[in-house]
């Protein structure tokens, strides 16, 4: 029998090579195609995906899925359907014009993740993080927790930008259900509550706790931003429970033969309110240095009562003149009179006030007037002879005290003119008055830009981890500073005559406001003394306290001296 071998070759067709995807990336862009990490909730965005197809060829398409998640990983938005040919190399797609409002819930971080599928191959991207911020509205006045307000009208103030109009809501419950009053303005950063509302329920009742918030609206009336909710109460008309504790007087009780020996002072504190106060701290400093026996605790101060407290302090050796400052730590109805100052000179004698202090010379008085008049007015007086100062309604000691206040910044020059006939020559005359109160939020309704003097509020756009204090002497820098913090047009400043003090509290100061006391010249330069008003206990301010103050221009070195001593 013949045998035969058969050799067979069997070929197996495995079909196309297995699909493989790699190098997947995702990005968030604005509508101009630029990469961004921060957006406003009123914008639209573009989501872009890219992946590498590592197969030789595939008849299938690369199918993409878009996800947007919140910080907890919850899916807020999902889109499917975008696809690209399955050819080797890069495959990419994008979703354009996505309104952020479609997934936005609260300001904060969001995450965009993508997924690509090609046949049996699936690849998911690492998430791309981006931030969505609502246009900020920072409430300024009344501060949260304010009690027994007596404002008429009560004007709500805030800082914000980007809204066509603002809606103010006032309610008698924290949920803001069934508001007591709702009002809308034309885009200003203030709103005055009606003094005589038409509905009885809108009348603010003394002693009732009210809640208020502000919403930013676009041109169509849609809400684009919202503030926090603050609370306040009004003073009852039938009660006199006002709060006003003031430092009435600061005086030396010993002479100052030199700067090496301690100086004794007394500070008088008066309760001008309608209710008794207790556990108030009285702080004292000299030349910015806290006295060794400061603070003093005032246990009880009844309405109409005055109490005196003694302090002993050393003046800084490098100062010929030092500012003594006494302040009570209380958030009452009249914050400006919570502090009192006294300018102390090396040769000054005990005064029990200041009437027997060293007498100022005519030249010192004249120079004080010239500094307050400014360079242009002072130039007009260059050819006049200064012969006498008179004050028909005050004594010589009172006139001396008025000029001391002018030198220390407690008083200001409000008018000046020339008097006298041909025979008498010409003499300068000036009117002095205590400095006007410029405390409180200064959004200043109806402010003419040419009249800009002061703005205060809160913001975190300026400064790092320390307080920021300096003088702006040019238009370009002023524009940059203003636009970083405040809203509206940049106020016009004549920088040939004026400069702007920029004062920003430190991030850990918890300051409700910054108050400027006055200026003084030293060998080192022009000093500006200031203090901080701390926020009520248990509540943090809406941001770092900011003060812009326009003052007479000086090309000297500008220095700042914080005089409150509880820091």
User: What share of the chain has pLDDT > 90, as a percent?
Assistant: 18
Give the model confidence (pLDDT) of 158-189 as tens digits: 887 667 789 999 999 988 888 999 999 988 88
Q: Identify the helix (H) or strand (E) that includes residue 368.
A: helix 362-373
Q: So what's the pLDDT on residue 530?
A: 83
Tell me what the mean pLDDT of segment 6-12 comes to: 44
pLDDT above 70: residue 386: no
Q: Angle at which helices 362-373 and 396-408 pack, to 10 degrees?
A: 40
Q: So what's the pLDDT on residue 540?
A: 76
- Quote the tokens at residue 552: 């007479």
Give the model confidence (pLDDT) of 363-385 as tens digits: 666 666 666 665 555 565 655 55
pLDDT above 80: residue 262: yes
The Cα 113–Cα 65 span in angstroms is: 9
pLDDT above 90: residue 112: yes
Higher pLDDT, 435 or 457: 457
Buried b / exposed e along 82-100 (16+ C-beta atoms within 10 A):
bbbebeeeebebbbeebeb
pLDDT above 80: residue 500: yes
Tell me what the mean pLDDT of segment 330-356 comes to: 67
Higher pLDDT, 398 or 524: 524
The Cα 168–Cα 293 span in angstroms is: 47
Burial of 277 (0-12, 13-18, 19+ CB in 10 A): buried
pLDDT above 50: residue 424: no
Across the chain, how many H-helices and E-strands are there? 4, 35
Q: So what's the pLDDT on residue 122?
A: 92
The mean of the pLDDT values for the chain is 77
pLDDT above 90: residue 125: yes
Whether the CA torsion 368, 373, 376, 377 is positive or negative: it is negative
Give the model confidence (pLDDT) of 459-495 as tens digits: 888 877 788 999 999 888 898 888 888 777 788 888 8
The Cα 192–Cα 194 span in angstroms is: 6
User: What share of the chain has pLDDT > 70, as a percent?
Assistant: 74
The Cα 531–Cα 141 span in angstroms is: 20
Tell me what the mean pLDDT of segment 199-214 comes to: 89
Local structure of 177: helix, strand or coil: coil
Local structure of 492: helix, strand or coil: coil
The Cα 232–Cα 144 span in angstroms is: 6
Higher pLDDT, 327 or 360: 327
Give the model confidence (pLDDT) of 263-307 as tens digits: 889 999 998 887 788 888 898 988 778 888 888 888 888 888 888
Local structure of 307: helix, strand or coil: strand
Q: So what's the pLDDT on residue 449?
A: 38
The Cα 52–Cα 88 span in angstroms is: 8
Local structure of 450: helix, strand or coil: helix
pLDDT above 70: residue 322: yes
For each of the domains in the chain, give its residue range(s) and CATH number, in order of start. Answer: 21-133 (2.70.50.60), 138-234 (2.60.40.10), 245-345 (2.60.40.10), 362-434 (no CATH), 449-562 (no CATH)
Closest by Cα among 247, 38, 234, 205 to 136: 38
Closest by Cα among 506, 514, 501, 508 to 468: 506
pLDDT interval class at 244 (50, 70, 90) = confident
Q: So what's the pLDDT on residue 403?
A: 66
Local structure of 220: helix, strand or coil: coil
Q: So what's the pLDDT on residue 109?
A: 85
pLDDT above 90: residue 333: no
Give the model confidence (pLDDT) of 47-73 as tens digits: 999 999 888 777 788 999 999 999 889
Bridge partners for 551 per DSSP = 499
């Amino acid at each position: 029998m013949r045998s035969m071998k058969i050799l067979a070759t069997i070929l197996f067709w495995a079909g196309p090579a297995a699909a493989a995807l790699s190098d997947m990336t995702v990005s968030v862009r604005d509508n101009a195609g630029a990469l961004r990490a921060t957006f406003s909730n009123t914008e639209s965005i573009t989501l872009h995906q890219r992946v590498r197809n590592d197969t030789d060829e595939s008849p299938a398409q690369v199918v993409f899925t878009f996800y947007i998640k919140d910080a907890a990983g919850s899916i807020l938005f999902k889109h499917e359907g975008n696809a690209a040919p399955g050819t080797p190399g890069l495959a990419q797609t994008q979703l354009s014009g996505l309104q952020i409002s479609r997934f936005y819930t609260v300001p904060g971080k969001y995450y965009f993740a993508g997924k690509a599928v090609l046949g049996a191959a699936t690849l998911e991207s690492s998430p791309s993080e981006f931030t969505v911020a609502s246009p900020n509205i920072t409430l300024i006045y009344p501060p949260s927790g304010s009690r027994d307000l007596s404002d008429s009208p009560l004007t709500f103030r805030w800082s914000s930008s980007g809204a066509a109009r603002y809606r103010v809501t006032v309610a008698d419950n924290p949920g803001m259900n069934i508001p007591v009053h709702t009002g809308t303005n034309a885009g200003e950063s203030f709103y005055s509550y009606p003094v005589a509302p038409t509905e009885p329920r809108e009348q603010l009742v003394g002693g009732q706790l009210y809640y208020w918030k502000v919403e930013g609206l676009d041109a169509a009336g849609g809400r684009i931003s919202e503030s926090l909710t603050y609370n306040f109460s009004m003073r009852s008309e039938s009660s006199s429970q006002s709060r006003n504790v003031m430092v009435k007087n600061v005086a030396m009780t010993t002479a100052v033969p030199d700067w090496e020996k301690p100086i004794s002072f007394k500070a008088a504190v008066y309760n001008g309110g309608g209710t008794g106060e207790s556990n108030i701290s009285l702080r004292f400093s000299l030349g910015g240095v806290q006295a060794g026996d400061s603070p003093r605790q005032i246990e009880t101060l009844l309405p109409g009562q005055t109490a005196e407290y003694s302090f002993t302090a050393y003046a800084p050796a490098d100062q010929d003149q030092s500012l003594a400052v006494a302040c009570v730590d209380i958030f009452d109805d009249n914050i400006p009179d919570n502090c009192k100052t006294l300018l102390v000179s090396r040769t000054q004698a005990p005064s029990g006030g200041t009437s027997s202090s060293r007498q100022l010379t005519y030249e010192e008085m004249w120079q004080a007037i010239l500094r307050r008049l400014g360079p242009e007015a002072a130039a007009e007086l260059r050819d006049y002879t200064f012969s006498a100062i008179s004050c028909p309604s005050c004594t010589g000691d009172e006139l001396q005290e008025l000029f001391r206040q002018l030198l220390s910044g407690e008083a200001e020059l409000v008018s000046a003119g020339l008097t006298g006939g041909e025979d008498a020559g010409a003499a300068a005359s000036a009117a002095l008055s205590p400095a006007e109160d410029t405390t409180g939020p200064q959004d200043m309704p109806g402010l003419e830009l040419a009249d800009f003097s002061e703005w205060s509020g809160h913001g975190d756009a300026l400064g790092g981890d320390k307080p920021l204090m300096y003088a702006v002497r040019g238009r370009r820098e002023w524009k940059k500073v203003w636009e970083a913090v405040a809203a509206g047009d940049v106020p016009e400043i004549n920088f040939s005559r004026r400069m702007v003090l920029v004062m920003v509290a430190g991030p850990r100061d918890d300051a409700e406001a910054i108050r400027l006391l006055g200026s003084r010249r030293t060998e080192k330069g022009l000093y500006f003394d200031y203090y901080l008003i701390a926020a009520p206990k248990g509540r943090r301010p809406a941001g770092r306290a900011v003060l812009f103050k326009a003052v007479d221009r000086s090309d000297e070195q500008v220095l700042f001296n914080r005089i409150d001593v509880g820091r």
